Structure 1
Amino acid sequence: MDKQTIDEGKSIAITSYILIIGVLIALSMNSENKNPFASFHIRQGLGLTLTFIILGVSISSFESILVAAPMWIFISVLTIYGIFTAAKGETTPLPLLGNLFQKWFKTI
């Protein structure tokens, strides 16, 4: 990817890591002129948001900080990692699930 494409899509890419609402904003910002760099990070952000929702719903019945804290730490670390890779202009998938997100959401 060339530097101009990365620079044009950097703000969209960073926005996509704001859980839930950021993905929707980034999708609308990237809808007209598809930027490949932004699309990569939108897929990562969407996957991270869906993982957050699925984990949150599945552990909500436990009502224990010992169960909830690891989920929050996991999501927070992946979010920070995604923001830093987007800010640096890299297209590195998130650890563990990033490659799956790219496959599952390849139409975005």
Structure 2
Amino acid sequence: MSADAPAPKVLYAEFTALPGCEETIAGLLAGLADDVRREPGCVEFAPYQVSTEPSRFFVYEVYRDDDAFTAHITAPYGRVFNDKLAPLIVEAGSQLTWLQPLSS
């Protein structure tokens, strides 16, 4: 990455399914992944279910830059996903952690 290139937006999202909601969430994530991966600014969108704790979900996300991330969070299917997810998880919403590289 050159000094003039915009920095990518890198984050992960985590959330915990309420008992019995794991399969529904996995299906919702699969559909969301299809939509997000078609976004022109999406570099990576990788959802996971924690193997040792199946109620826990983890999504690693990379977007080209701030504009790509803004386009992602304003996409209409994102709101639909979050509205469907909210009653299925323990937390008030996805817990986001922002990442930055240690070196370029």
Fold shared per TM-score above 0.5: no
Report the structure, 1 or 2, having the larger helix content: 1
Return the structure number with greater relative CO, CA threshold 8 A, min gap 6: 2
Which structure dedicates a bigger proportion of its chain to strand?
2
* TM-score normalized with structure 1 length: 0.30
